[in-house]
Structure 1
Amino acid sequence: MYIPKLFEASETMGREIMRAHSWALLVTTGADGTPFASHLALLWQEDGSAHGHLIGHMARANSHWKLFEGAADSMAMFWGPHAYVSPTWYTPGPKVPTWNYLTVHAYGRPEIIDDTKGALDILARLVATYEGEGPDAWSMDRLPPGNAEAQSRGIVAFRMPLSRIEAKAKLSQNRDLEDRHRVIAQLEASDSQEAQATALWMKKVLP
């Protein structure tokens, strides 16, 4: 990924982005050089290694998982909030439009979890993350005995140890502070939740 030095984000920020925005695009290149992409929920997990790993699953009918044995790394792409930035928001001068955004590319080789217990553990972690806690939170325990095991046969669970993480936060760091504050104000005033969320991230990278 092209990352100018000003927009290079730390791996710590990259992990934060992956946690907060875990709907990702997983891309694997087949032996013939053709890329195959699947949209998936992927959870970053700490494991004591340099970069951690991702967990996820896909439908068994999705042939993507059959490419995991290939020689090349797969790439998981995550994206945070993003917003258009108008040059009218800056102080006067010959300035042009741009787009502010956050993105992470995480690389590794997915490993299929082929035992039922391991697959159910990954499914339980996904459910717990998105359902949260509380009396109304759904869990797999609500399924009839044996049902989760039966349904798990229709999916392929996997973990993806990460070899590299690239994170980019293009948030007006190339503008002076006055322009950055003016952009933040405009985004905060927007009706768009994406714009408002972009403003929050802009504040995080202010000097």
Structure 2
Amino acid sequence: MLISLRNDHKEHLGLLTSQSVQVLIDFCKLAIDFLQSGPNLKFYASAAEKLSVEVDAVQNCVYGLVNLLLLSCKHKLSEADFRDSILTLGFSPEQENILHKFYESKKAEIAQILNKLTVNEPHYDNLEWRFEVQVSSRSLHQQVVPLMTLDLSLKTLKDDGSGYKKEHHLLQTDVTNLQHITHELEKALNESRSRHSRKIQRTLDNKV
């Protein structure tokens, strides 16, 4: 697959396509520094002076390069897919070779960063239930309300990514409330299938 960058990201990377291999290597170093320590405006100012461009252009270029690497790692691009994605952005084969080496050398580090950025929310695992009702009682002077006892099991990915940890939540509700919950969940499920929701999901998938 080929990764899809926003037009502004493509424009930011356009600064590098016309530069020498050494300049590209220097920007890879700036990207490494950004991943490890955050933005360094002093370095960006120095690079901007050498290239006779604005500091913002250098900063945006670094951001674009980091975003390119994050997306490549997120989608686990193969060597061929990475090459094709880079070449379609206007980079030369020699520049692509430099970027590929940079990508391979930083893949593990980038994966750790993505893992930290990912919201690790609990996911549905299983649901067991039983129907409870009091059949009779001498002290009972009102209508019996049947209850549903639920055992909701959720799983969450462990911090080291080695597997899932599970939690059980015991819940109890009456039939009327359960029907309301079911109705709301069905509404949410239908909304998630709407064109608007799919568009939002595609937008989020192309961002880090």
Greater fraction strand: 1
Greater fraction helix: 2
Which structure has the greater CA radius of gyration? 2
TM-score by length of 2: 0.21
Query: Which is bigger in relative contact order (C-alpha 8 A, separation at least 6)?
Result: 1
TM-score by length of 1: 0.21
